[in-house]
Amino acid sequence: MKSLSLKLALAATVAAASVSAIAAPNCTTEPKSKWLPEAEMKAKVAAMGYQIKEFEISGHCYEIYGHDKDGKKVEIYFNPVDASIVKEKRS
């Protein structure tokens, strides 16, 4: 019984790690000293036509939750060095 519990715990840990790896991509390997300042990044995102509801650092990415120019909800991960979109989800 203890062996089964250990196997289930290990499987749950691996599954959780896999989900978090998918959720937050690795946007850059550059040190934070080379990242765009948050204010500059927010201005670039707004200039792209996005309305920011929430802005955060997620792993090695800048992540926003908000709306695109058509009013659709978006979750976007940006490379914090060059402001390129790494991953985008619209709903």
pLDDT band at 24 (very low <50, low <70, confident <90, very high): confident
pLDDT tens profile 26-51: 999 999 999 999 999 999 999 999 99
pLDDT band at 5 (very low <50, low <70, confident <90, very high): low
Q: Which residues of 32-52 are buried (b: 16+ CB within 10 A; e: fewer)?
A: eeebbeeeebbeebeeeebee
Domain spans in the chain, listed from the N-terminal domain onward: 26-90
Q: Cα 55 vs. chain centroid, distance in angstroms? A: 10
Positive or negative CA dihedral for 91, 44, 54, 64?
A: positive
CATH topology of domain 26-90: Nuclear Transport Factor 2; Chain: A, (3.10.450)
pLDDT in the model for residue 19: 46
User: Two tokens at 18?
Assistant: 């896999």
Phi then psi for residue 88, to 5 deg, are: -140, 135
Q: How many other CB atoms sit within 10 Å of the CB of residue 83?
A: 16
3-class DSSP assignment, residue 38: helix
Q: Which amino acid is at 70?
A: D
Task: Return the higher-pLDDT residue of 53 and 12.
Answer: 53
Task: Return the higher-pLDDT residue of 7 and 38.
Answer: 38
- The model scores a pTM over 0.85: no
